[in-house]
Amino acid sequence: MYQVNLFPWRTRAQRRRATFWLRLLVLQLALAAAVLTGVLGVLNRQQDQEYLALLTLVRQQTELTERFQQRQRAMARLASLTAQVEQQGINGVHNRRYLQLLQQLSPLLPAALWLIALDTNAQNIRLRGLSRRYEAVTQFEQRLVALPLLQHGRLTEVVQRQDGLFSFTLTAQWGRDE
């Protein structure tokens, strides 16, 4: 046979124990929620700080990129200007040589001879002209050979045209600009 205890103090004790464990469970859940909230807050704050640091780094990178591009443009401009100055220097030397040659050619020309073309390339110069007399052409060739600017001057072509004028071509080594 079964015996049942129907005393009220046992049910009260069971309720007290149940409420104790229930309160303890609620307290643990509240504590766990507080810890979780704290951890999430710390993580959120840390994420915000990292985001601000990232924004700062992006801003710095943008500034540095702009500075780099400005320096690249300045260096390209400097290189361009340097090349332009060098080219102007080369052109100046070349033009002075032409001027010197023309100044030296002018008194060398016999009266019966005139030049109609002056063609140059990097190493040679070709003078074309007309003359009334063949002797004036040979005289000009001899004078031209004596010029220090030109080396190995020679007549490459002399043709008498139908109008009686001699058409001639003189070539010489022009050399390089110095």
The model's pLDDT over 147-162, given as tens digits with 9 standing for 90+, comes to: 888 888 888 889 988 9
User: Within this chain, do residues 81 and 13 fall inside the same structural domain, yes or no?
Assistant: yes
pTM above 0.85, yes or no: no
User: pLDDT, tens digit, for every residue of 102-136?
Assistant: 888 888 888 888 899 988 887 888 999 999 899 99
User: Within this chain, do residues 93 and 114 fall inside the same structural domain, yes or no?
Assistant: no
User: Within this chain, do residues 17 and 92 fall inside the same structural domain, yes or no?
Assistant: yes
- For residue 21, being part of any structural domain is answered with yes
Q: How many Å apart are CA 98 and CA 125, to the nearest integer?
A: 11
- For residue 160, being part of any structural domain is answered with yes
What is the extent of the structural domain holding 59? 1-106
What pLDDT score does 129 carry? Answer: 92
In the chain, what percentage of residues exceed pLDDT 90? Answer: 48
**Total structural domains within the chain:** 2
What pLDDT score does 175 carry? Answer: 63
End residue of a domain, out of 87, 106, 125: 106
What pLDDT score does 120 carry? Answer: 82
> Cα angle at 147 between 160 and 123, to 5 degrees?
80
Q: How many Å apart are CA 157 and CA 166, to the nearest integer?
A: 10
Given a cut of 80, is residue 15 above it in pLDDT? yes
